[in-house]
């Protein structure tokens, strides 16, 4: 095997070494493609197809236009203070329930992180927004940090998630179906989080004090009447998210159209709050451009890497190795899930979706699972990968949502506290993943793809 696949193996090793040097992954993928094309004596004109593939796969890809638009929407909601107001109002709404603030944070995470898409960015955003409020109210760090990390990453699963848009494009499945399929598992995880928070707050009241017991008690008095606050802060974002999701799921709008409506809606909400000024708009546009280019350049680099990797026999090698294990469908599924879980320690979902997922597709395609129709197989697999990746980002000691959280932690909160805070959530995630594997209907019922 070493003779046959020597260069493909070397390419993977070179990628691993390069990734740990800290050089941007997008450029590494492109560069290694070129380098190994020379080493493997691949005729230069063959590389010419890379250019036309990039053109067809990225620039001419109408679906991907949704990415900058969703990023714009998320950043606009954050920068204009819509997200902050939403948190304050949710806090008032649930203020009388023990653990209510934590539940508000989880809800905000679900609504907001959906549109930002980048794990690091959404965890940092949610952390900066929610941690100070929770700390002032006297929440135990063991509770607060876990909520922020878990809800900040839940956004990659709950639609409208950029990751699902990209997976739809890679796996050639309808983004509307994927959104529908991810909704139930996402909500299920949200419910599991909420139950955990309520139970913990009931057993250990000192972990989750009420607003009236903390320093922020005066804030509840200063605000506008409840009904006005609800209409102003909650109705806007909720209508926006429902309109965006609803139109995609109902098949009225394509993801790109819905994203444009969402982006315009976020502008309107910011205008309504009188928070839309020149410099805010400029910052949002600039950050949107950088973030979406960052995502799409991984696609561009991965295009070059995969073309060469395939030419060197890499695809066959992966299929050989995986089928060579002689495992049954469920054994293979667990193997693939384990592989993706470990890769999630080091890589963002962007690289995993673009480099790893296409390699695994041929392996998965032939498998049969109880309760999964052939048309639903890829949809189910994509959602399992999404839940798995989210869990991987949260799992100590490498889960890198945790490193971002440590970066913005106040005072002397150690990484140990963050690890302890996240472990219950990892357990909930794994429960959710197992449920979705055992009962595919959780995923496939809503898009109507059950057998």
The binding site for other proteins (CB under 8 A) comprises: 18-28, 30-35, 44-45, 47-48, 50-52, 54-55, 58-62, 64-65, 68-69, 72, 253, 256-257, 259-261, 263-264, 285-286, 288-294, 296-298, 300-301, 304, 346-348, 350-351
CB of 114 to other proteins, least distance (A): 18
CB of 52 to other proteins, least distance (A): 5
Which pair of tokens denotes residue 351? 């690289």
> Which of 337, 443, 445, 322 has its CA nearest to residue 391?
337
CB of 429 to other proteins, least distance (A): 22
- Comparing CB distances to other proteins, the nearer of 135 and 243 is 243
- Comparing CB distances to other proteins, the nearer of 192 and 350 is 350
CB of 361 to other proteins, least distance (A): 23
- Comparing CB distances to other proteins, the nearer of 346 and 369 is 346
CA distance 91 to 111: 15
CB of 14 to other proteins, least distance (A): 10
- Contact indicator for 144, 106 with CB cutoff of 8 Å: no
> Which of 165, 125, 166, 172 has its CA nearest to residue 245?
165
Instruction: Give 322's contacts (C-beta < 8 A, 6+ positions apart).
Output: 332, 335, 336, 360, 363
- Comparing CB distances to other proteins, the nearer of 263 and 413 is 263
Q: Tell me the backbone φ, ψ of residue 450, rounded to 5 degrees.
A: -70, 160
- Comparing CB distances to other proteins, the nearer of 144 and 258 is 258
- Comparing CB distances to other proteins, the nearer of 65 and 170 is 65
Which pair of tokens denotes residue 103? 């539940």
CB of 288 to other proteins, least distance (A): 5
Query: Burial level of 389, CB count in 10 A (0-12/13-18/19+)?
Result: buried
- Contact indicator for 108, 85 with CB cutoff of 8 Å: no
CA distance 409 to 418: 9
């Amino acid at each position: 095997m070493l003779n046959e696949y020597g260069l493909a193996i070397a390419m993977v090793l070179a990628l691993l070494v390069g990734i740990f040097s800290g050089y941007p992954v997008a450029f590494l993928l492109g560069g290694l493609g070129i380098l190994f094309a020379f080493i493997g004596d691949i005729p230069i004109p063959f590389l010419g197809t890379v250019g036309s593939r990039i053109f067809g796969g990225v620039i001419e890809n109408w679906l991907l236009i949704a990415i900058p638009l969703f990023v714009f929407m998320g950043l606009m909601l954050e920068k204009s203070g819509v997200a902050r107001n939403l948190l304050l109002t949710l806090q008032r709404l649930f203020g009388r329930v023990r653990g209510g603030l934590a539940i508000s944070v989880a809800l905000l995470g679900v609504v907001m992180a959906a549109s930002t898409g980048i794990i690091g960015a959404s965890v940092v955003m949610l952390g900066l927004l929610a941690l100070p409020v929770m700390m002032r109210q006297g929440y135990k760090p063991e509770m607060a940090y876990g909520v922020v990390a878990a809800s900040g990453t839940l956004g990659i699963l709950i639609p409208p998630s950029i990751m699902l848009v990209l997976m739809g494009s890679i796996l050639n499945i309808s983004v509307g179906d994927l959104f529908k399929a991810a909704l139930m598992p996402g909500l299920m995880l949200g419910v599991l989080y909420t139950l955990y928070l309520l139970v913990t707050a009931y057993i250990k009241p000192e972990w989750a004090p009420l607003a009236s017991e903390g320093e922020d008690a005066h804030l509840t008095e200063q605000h506008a009447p409840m009904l006005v606050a609800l209409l102003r802060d909650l109705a806007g974002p909720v209508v926006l998210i429902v309109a965006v999701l609803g139109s995609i799921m109902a098949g009225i709008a394509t993801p790109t159209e819905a994203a444009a409506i969402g982006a315009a809606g976020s502008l309107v909400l910011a205008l309504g709050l009188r928070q839309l000024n020149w410099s805010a708009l400029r910052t949002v546009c600039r950050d949107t451009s950088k973030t979406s280019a960052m995502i799409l350049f991984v696609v561009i680099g991965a295009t070059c890497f995969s073309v060469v990797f395939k030419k060197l026999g890499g695809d066959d090698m992966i299929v050989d190795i995986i089928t060579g294990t002689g495992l049954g469908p469920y054994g293979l599924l667990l193997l693939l899930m384990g592989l993706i879980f470990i890769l999630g320690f080091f890589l963002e979902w962007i690289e995993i979706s673009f480099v790893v997922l296409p390699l695994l597709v041929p392996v998965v395609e032939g498998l049969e699972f109880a309760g999964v129709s052939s048309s639903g197989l890829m949809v189910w697999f994509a959602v399992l990968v999404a839940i798995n990746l989210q869990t991987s980002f949260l799992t100590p000691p490498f889960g890198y949502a945790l490193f971002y959280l440590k970066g913005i932690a106040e005072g002397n909160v150690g990484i140990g506290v963050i690890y302890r805070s996240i472990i219950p959530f990892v357990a909930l995630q794994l429960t959710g993943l197992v449920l979705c594997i055992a009962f595919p209907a959780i995923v496939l019922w809503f898009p109507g793809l059950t057998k």
